[in-house]
Amino acid sequence: MQLLRIFSAEKYKGTKDYINTQKKFEIIRTLLYFAISVSLFAAGYIQTGRKTNLLTVVAVLGCLPASKSAVNAIMFLRFKSCGEEAAAGIEKHCQGLHTLYDMVFTSYQKNYVVSHLAVRGNTVCGYSEKPDFPENDFYKHIDNILKMDGLKDVTVKIFTDLKKYTDRLEQMKELETDESRSETIAGTLKSVVL
């Protein structure tokens, strides 16, 4: 089952430990792609005794997807999943909410790492393990994304204090909501993360 999860990782975007799982997938895929290119080059060289052959061309072309995969692996290696202690504390308070783990929002200026997000109606709250999280820049970035998808009047708040975040999760459970709105917002957020 874990192997199936690794090879269909896109489906599991937003789940607990997503970044760590995706790191493994990207590294394995990159090594496999480069191994195929190297073996094709070696096979062509062994068969013809020269570097200039058709298999060398195929091996060089095979380096294109391998290089793309290497870039993806490097992107995922830069980030880490939500810490076990934080995840355990959050899980106690998020029943009944749409939750997303390991969200890395990328922009031209910065990357915003949000360890956990909870969505209920028009309210999105998140927790970042980085104490210097650039909240104002993130709000502008995420507000633009939500507006481009036709989602207006969405309140977004990111906490860097776990206790305050879990308190807010409990308050969010009290909010009346339209479940389809929560699912739409969560879907939009998942579609724009790494």
Question: What's the pLDDT tens digit per position in 120-132?
Answer: 888 888 888 888 8
Q: State the CB neighbour count (10 A cutoff) for residue 122.
A: 18
Q: Which of 114, 117, 111, 109 is closest to 168 using CA atoms?
A: 117
Whole-number pLDDT of residue 1: 42
Whole-number pLDDT of residue 67: 95
Pairing of strands 123-127, 111-120: antiparallel
Whole-number pLDDT of residue 43: 92
Whole-number pLDDT of residue 142: 86
Whole-number pLDDT of residue 63: 93
Which sequence spans correspond to the domains of the chain?
A: 2-77, 84-191
Q: Which residues does the chain have with pLDDT short of 50?
A: 1, 3-6
Whole-number pLDDT of residue 11: 57
Whole-number pLDDT of residue 49: 87
Whole-number pLDDT of residue 9: 52
